[in-house]
């Protein structure tokens, strides 16, 4: 199995309530060659106080942004600081299963792939899984991905040895995560999906992802203003996006 350093990038903004659980899920990994880069995006709560408890461990580093810059810029700041061969994203309110890194890195070695993601399980705001699992496809191309935004940020790992780092950098647009997966796939890379769930996706009240109207606007903006599709092709892709989104929630 791969044994390279994994740089775990966690953007943090007002995540005092959740960040300790998220950090604990990294510390509990059976794969031990990792570093955590916590990027504080001008939090106004006690997030930094929680993070500071872990900084005696050299595997943890804090990057502080002077003003709120958004998740794309926070993750890019983390990428600038990362030392690892592998880049893993984890949101500040999500939780990894203990074998997430070991199983996913083994999967990436077996498939010789630069970009992988996994299935995931929905969780309550308290971080308890509800046995509702979103299954991802075994492989996905650009043409398939633009009709199915099933790739979830906290499940993604990139291999820097096999992927141009410029493709990993997130554009500062709404739904920056989907825009990033699309720019990677558009380059000709195929994404590989591990069908086992390895992350708990905590759905918290008030998050952007819980606002369906906002989500619709963000995806439409990707089609029209990021991918520059015409109205008809945008509508075609959006139809399949909506169908897939509904089935994920059944």
Number of domains in the chain: 1
CATH of the domain at 195: 3.90.550.10
Tell me if 196 is assigned to some domain. Answer: yes
Q: Is 95 helix (H, G, I), strand (E, B) or coil?
A: strand
The structure tokens 């966690």 sit at 10
* 249 part of a folded domain: no
Residue at 117 is within a domain: yes
96: in domain: yes
Residue 217 lies in a domain: no
% of residues, the chain, pLDDT over 70: 95
Question: Where are the extended beta strands (E) located within 30-188?
Answer: 34-41, 60-65, 86-89, 95-96, 115-123, 129-134, 139-140, 157-159
Residue 187 domain-assigned (yes or no): yes
- pLDDT per residue as tens digits for the range 50-88: 999 999 999 999 999 999 999 999 999 999 999 999 999
Query: Tokens for 103?
Result: 């199983």
Q: Is residue 34 part of a domain?
A: yes
- Structural domain including 79 reads 6-206
- Whether 224 is covered by a domain: the verdict is no
Residue percentage of the chain with pLDDT more than 90:
88
Q: What pTM was estimated for this model as a whole?
A: 0.94
Q: How far is residue 83's CA from residue 58's CA, in Å, rounded to a whole number?
A: 13
Element (H, E) at 123: strand 115-123
The pLDDT, as a whole number, for residue 207 is 47
């Amino acid at each position: 199995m791969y044994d390279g350093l994994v740089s775990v990038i966690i953007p943090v903004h007002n995540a005092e309530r959740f960040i300790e659980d998220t950090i604990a899920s990294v510390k509990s990994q059976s794969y031990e060659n990792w570093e955590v880069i916590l990027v504080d995006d001008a939090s106004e709560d006690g997030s930094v106080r929680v993070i500071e408890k872990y900084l005696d461990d050299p595997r943890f580093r804090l990057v502080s942004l002077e003003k709120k810059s958004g998740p794309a810029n926070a993750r890019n700041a983390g990428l600038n600081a990362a030392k690892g061969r592998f880049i893993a994203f984890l949101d500040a309110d999500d939780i990894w299963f203990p074998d997430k890194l070991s199983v996913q890195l083994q999967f990436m070695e077996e498939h010789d792939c630069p970009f992988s993601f996994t299935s995931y399980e929905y969780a309550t705001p308290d971080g308890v899984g509800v046995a509702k699992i979103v299954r991802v496809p075994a492989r996905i191309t650009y043409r398939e991905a633009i009709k199915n935004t099933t790739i979830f940020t906290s499940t993604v790992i990139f291999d820097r040895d096999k992927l141009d780092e410029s493709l990993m950098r997130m554009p500062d647009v709404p739904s920056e995560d989907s825009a990033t997966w699309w720019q990677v796939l558009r380059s000709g890379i195929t994404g590989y999906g591990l069908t086992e769930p390895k992350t708990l996706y905590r759905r918290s009240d008030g998050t952007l992802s819980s606002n369906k109207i906002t989500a619709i606007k963000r995806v439409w903006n990707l089609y029209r203003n990021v991918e520059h599709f015409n109205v008809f092709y945008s509508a075609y892709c959006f139809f399949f996006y909506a169908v897939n989104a509904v089935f994920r929630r059944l």
